[in-house]
Chain A
């Protein structure tokens, strides 16, 4: 069963507007972490933001914020004031549990974001 779902294969947003990228997840663990990564056409995966399952406040990093709704198992990424450089693939990911000292992360299928001038 797919653990990370991103229902939007492609999204368009006007420059300077805000955009929300959807992510839902499935886990039975109480302790888990949620991530968003950006992958430009160059290929490198760039870490954007992290939300722990016990964090009471939504994570924010500059223009990125994570809308965490635990009961709905959703972790949407909000990008404010979109810039042309935001055009990229965006991946939602989840780390389950804390039993291992390394990070076993499951990635979603990704959403392609295009920012229109």
Chain B
């Protein structure tokens, strides 16, 4: 079974739509992350949840709203996005005890029209 899963894999939405990205990890990790990967830009950390508490918000616009109901699930709620928000959104998890390795999901390719 894949360690970190993400759904949907592809999403096309209009600027007035509301949608949610889902991430689930089956590794027993305590920390979960959202990253944004745009073309020709380095991977950008968006949010970090550690033991279900948000510990990082890297100046992300409020049209992106994360939710972490438990240590295994992470959501990214999207509303009134802009075309420049089109990107690959990657979820990752790690042990959260200072150990070093992050495990990534396959990503959701988001296109905003």
Contact = CB atoms under 8 A, between A and B. Distances in A.
A50 B101 contact: yes
Chain B contact-residue range equals: 20 to 34
A8 interface: no
Given A102-B31, A102-B55, A44 B104 contact: yes
What bracket does the count of chain A residues touching chain B fall in?
Answer: 20 to 34
Nearest to A9: B40
Interface of A: 4, 33, 35, 37, 42-47, 50, 52, 91, 93, 95, 98, 100-110
B102 interface: yes
Residue from A42, A50, A52, A102 having most chain B Cβ neighbours under 10 A:
A102
A109 B109 CA distance: 19
A44 B106 contact: yes
A109 B101 contact: no
B50 A44 contact: no
Interface string B59-82: 000000000000000000000000
Given A43-B107, A45-B90, A101 B43 contact: no
A47 B101 contact: yes
Closest 8 CB pairs of A and B: A45-B104, A107-B43, A102-B31, A43-B107, A102-B50, A44-B106, A107-B42, A109-B42
Interface in B26-56: 31, 33, 41-43, 45, 48, 50, 55-56
Given A43-B88, A45-B90, A110-B42, A103 B106 contact: no
A107 B103 CA distance: 14
A43 B39 CA distance: 12
Contact of B96 (A35, A101, A109): A101
A54 B100 CA distance: 14
A114 B79 CA distance: 38
Contact of A47 (B42, B50, B97, B102): B102
16 contacts: A4-B42, A35-B100, A45-B90, A45-B102, A91-B42, A93-B43, A101-B31, A101-B50, A101-B97, A102-B48, A102-B56, A102-B96, A104-B56, A107-B42, A107-B43, A109-B42
